[in-house]
Amino acid sequence: MVNIGLLGFGTVGQGLAHILNNKSEATPLKDINIKKILVRNLEKERKVKVSKDKLTLNPQEIMEDKEIDIIVEVTGDVDLSYRLVKEALNNKKHVVTANKALVSKHFEELSLLAEENDVYFLYEASVAGGIPILKPLKDQIRVNNISRLRGILNGTCNYILTKMTDEGLDYGQALREAQGLGYAEADPSSDVKGLDTLRKLRILSTLAFGSAIREEDIICHGIDKLLALDIKLLKEREMVIKLIGEVVEVDGGYQAIVQPKAFKDGSYFTMIREAYNTVSIEGDFSGVLNFYGPGAGMYPTANAVLTDIIDCVMNIQDKKNPLGNRKLENKNEDIRGKYYIRISNWKDYEVDLGGVIEEKVFEDDKDFAIITKEVRLSDILNILEGVENLALVNLED
């Protein structure tokens, strides 16, 4: 029997318990036992029932239990989980986590610590929810140089954008629905402001490029400032907006950005709807590989956590630190493209877009929208400095 100490019993933790309860005859699941569960509130009503004596408020009850072999961390709390995950790895317990905020913040340190202690540190569910992407990516980088990686990496944002585009739903209502379906983070501003996508891009790009690409190396624009007007104006041009995380290799360096991007309706990224995600990887031998599936939600995410647990139980992944030590220069200053820009209350600002306008798209007393010529993003950001209510959407070629 393999004993798990489960940290957290919310959407993902309960999904895991449900799958184990319902597959208790299957090998090797029948040998996996959730021994103790850390929560904040012992009295909370939960969809998945477990005996009360499994629940604890005291993490040390789990950490100091010598019969627990694997710590599964699904709290979402970064400070607590950092302390507990380090303690677990140092005590030679395997760690499986879905917490991208934790992995993103402490990726190098925890990867190295796991190797030093000859235990697993696995985090498949931390990126793109239910899509198996990190294990395949670790395989691909053994053969390929990855020159570009991009994806729709946040289920909540993709759900909101799909509902606004297809059903004309209001932003707030679409966000509430995503929360009700268990897709959003405890603080959904990290979804809509692009932070969650940024953390996933940080993990993917650091693995794919063999070089530490940290949160502060990635430009980040979310979807929180987009209006129904932006979606409508681009829809009239047969374009659909998606929140995209993207990293590309450019001579000796890389560019990394999270931004709303408009694609021709009917093209690949526009087919990814609701809480589905996709990750597209370009390798020199593999060509373009597209991974697609549910990006959030109880069972898809718990399923991804469980595949990591099984790998620990069966001892079938490499315990070696998968992170490379290339030094690549950040070239975000050179990012160029065409952009859709909408400024609200535009008469309050003295913004000189004169030199960059390719086409005026909309103007009334309140809103003013244009499409730019091909420009440097940093120049546009300089021009728009101080403007509060605006949309900036990159247009795919």
Residue 38 interacting entry, from ligand NAP, ligand HSE, none, C-beta within 5 to 8 Å by type = ligand NAP
- Among residues 200, 319, 320, 331, the one annotated as catalytic is 200
**DSSP H or E segment with residue 298:** helix 298-314
Question: Which of ligand HSE, ligand NAP, none sits in contact with 12, Cβ below 5 to 8 A by type?
Answer: ligand NAP
Cβ 80 to ligand HSE, closest distance in Å? 19
- Under the binding rule (CB under 6 A), the answer on residue 296 touching ligand NAP is yes
Which residues contact residue 206 at a Cβ distance below 8 angstroms, ignoring those fewer than 6 apart?
Answer: 107, 212, 213, 214, 323
Round to whole Å and give the CA distance between 213 and 327: 9
Give the number of C-alpha atoms closer than 13 A to the C-alpha of residue 22, restricted to the C-beta side: 10
CB contact at 8 A, 327 and 211: yes
Structure tokens, 381: 């950001």
Which of ligand NAP, ligand HSE, none has residue 156 at its interface (CB below 5 to 8 Å by kind)? ligand HSE
306-319 exposure pattern, b = at least 16 Cβ within 10 A, e = fewer: bebbbbbbeeebeb
**Residue 40 binds which entry of ligand HSE, ligand NAP, none, CB below 5-8 Å type-dependent:** ligand NAP
Q: Which is nearer to ligand HSE, 36 or 221 (CB)?
A: 221
Scanning 17-25, 37-45, 136-144, 243-251 for contacts with ligand NAP by CB under 6 A, the matching segment is 37-45
What residue is closest to ligand NAP based on CB? Answer: 10
Contact between 76 and ligand HSE by CB under 6 A: the answer reads: no
Query: With CB cut-offs between 5 and 8 Å by kind, which of ligand NAP, ligand HSE, none does residue 154 bind?
Result: ligand HSE
Q: By CB under 6 A, is residue 115 in contact with ligand HSE?
A: no
| Binding test (CB under 6 A) with ligand HSE, winner from 196, 217, 246, 249 | 196
**Among 16, 88, 231, 296, contact with ligand HSE (rule: CB under 6 A):** 296
Q: What are the distances in angstroms from CA 239 to CA 169, 204, 222?
A: 18, 27, 18
Q: Does 155 bind ligand HSE (CB under 6 A)?
A: yes
Could you tell me the smallest distance in angstroms from the CB atom of residue 39 to ligand NAP? Answer: 4
Active site annotation includes 200:
yes
The reply to whether 183 sits near ligand HSE by the rule CB under 6 A is yes
Interface with ligand HSE (CB under 6 A), residue from 283, 295, 300, 322: 295
The letter for the amino acid at 264 is K
Q: Kindly state the tokens that stand for 249.
A: 């290799």
Which position among 68, 85, 89, 125 is part of the footprint of ligand NAP (CB under 6 A)? 125
Q: Counting every residue, how long is the chain?
A: 397
Q: Which does 373 bind (CB under 5 to 8 A by kind): ligand NAP, ligand HSE, none?
A: none
Half-sphere exposure of 100 (CA within 13 A, CB side): 26
Q: Output the six-digit token pair for 159.
A: 């759900």
Q: How far is the first Cα of the chain from the last one, in angstroms, to the nearest whole number?
A: 55
11 binds ligand NAP (CB under 6 A): yes
Binding mask 77-116 vs ligand NAP (x if CB under 6 A, - otherwise)?
A: x--x-----------------xxx----------------
Distances (CA, A) of 335 to 54, 152, 257, 332, 390: 52, 19, 9, 5, 20
- Yes or no: say if 150 and 200 are a contact pair by the CB < 8 Å rule: no
Q: Should residue 8 be labelled a site residue for ligand HSE when binding is judged by CB under 6 A?
A: no
Q: How far apart are alpha carbons 326 and 209 in whole angstroms?
A: 8
Beta strand pairing call for 2-7 and 68-73: parallel
172: CB partners within 8 A, 6+ apart = none
Q: Residues 6, 17, 39, 343: which binds ligand NAP (CB under 6 A)?
A: 39
Quote the CA–CA distance of 188 and 211 in Å, as a whole number: 29
Nearer to ligand NAP, 39 or 122 (CB): 39
Sequence letter at residue 119: V
Nearest to 259 by CA among 362, 157, 127, 124: 157
Give the shortest CB-232-to-ligand HSE separation in angstroms: 24
Q: What are the residues binding ligand HSE (CB under 6 A)?
A: 129, 154-156, 183-185, 191, 196, 295-296
As annotated, the active-site residues are 200
Q: What are the residues binding ligand NAP (CB under 6 A)?
A: 8-13, 38-41, 44, 74-77, 80, 98-100, 125, 129, 182-183, 185-186, 296-297, 301
